[in-house]
Amino acid sequence: MFEKTGIPSRDMIMEKFPSMDRINKGPAAIVECYRQIPCNPCETACRFKAIRVGEDINNIPQINFDKCMGCAICLSKCPGLAIMIADGSKSEDTVEIKIPYEFLPLPEEGQLVKGLNREGAYITDVKVLKVTNPKSFDRTPVITIEVDRKFLYEIRNIRVEV
């Protein structure tokens, strides 16, 4: 189905996530690169050598969650916008998720926006904690949102209503 719709299955998504224990320890990158394409900026961007693509740039990136610091540099460098960061260390009820968002208007910090799943369907309202858009991110702003834990594997996008 993924090849027909662009929507990954739950199993595919789960395979890219680290364990809950790992997420509860601190931020980790989830690299949703499901099919081989010739591309390796995630590997070159990572200062901690946590992402490995290897000699053949068509390989699917492999992430070492022991080395990943969740710094989000790879997130801003991924041409496919396929990377998000999840951090469960801040609260027992919620997780913090970082996603790329290249649309206007950008949300405001503290604003409630619509949380969307990988189909673009509305799931729940989420709170915007931070909007990061430094020059080094090259016009790919990163939005940090606070998400109810039960939606950790679902929320992947936001809609900012004007």
Partner 1 sequence: MKQADIVVIGGGPAGLCAAISAAQSGAGVLIIDKNKNLGGQLIKQTHMFFGSEKQYASTRGIDIPEILMKELDKYREKVEIKTNSTALGLYEDGIITVLEKEDNYYKIEPKAVIVATGAYEKFLSFPNNDLPGIYGAGAVQTLMNVHGVKPGDRVLMVGAGNIGLIVSYQLMQAGVEVKAIIDAAPKIGGYLVHASKIRRMGVPILTSHTVKEAIGQDFLEKAVVWEVDERFNPIPGTEVTFDVDVMCISVGLTPLNELLAMRGCQMKYVPQLSGLVPVRNENYETSVENIFVAGDASGVEEASAAMVEGFLAGLCAAAKIGYKADDFDDRRKDYMNQLNNLRSGPAGSHILMGLEQIRR
Partner 2 sequence: MRIKEHPILKFNKVKKIKFVFNGREMEGYEGETIAAALHAQGVKVLGKSLFLHRPRGFYCAIGNCSSCLMTVNGVANVKTCITDLEEGMIVETQDGKGVIV
Q: Which residues bind partner 2 (CB under 8 A)?
A: 102-104, 139, 141
Regarding 58 and contact with partner 1 (CB under 8 A), the answer is yes
Quote the least distance from Cβ 106 to partner 2, whole Å: 8
Rounded Cα distance, 55 and 42, in Å:
14
Regarding 8 and contact with partner 1 (CB under 8 A), the answer is yes
Residues with Cβ within 8 Å of 157's Cβ and at least 6 positions away in sequence, in order, are: 99, 101, 115, 116, 117, 118, 120
Regarding 4 and contact with partner 1 (CB under 8 A), the answer is yes
Q: Is 20 or 121 the residue whose CB approaches partner 1 more closely?
A: 121
Regarding 35 and contact with partner 1 (CB under 8 A), the answer is yes
**Residues that bind partner 1 in the complex, under the rule CB under 8 A:** 2-8, 32-41, 44-45, 56-58, 77-82, 102-104, 116-121, 138-140, 156-157, 159
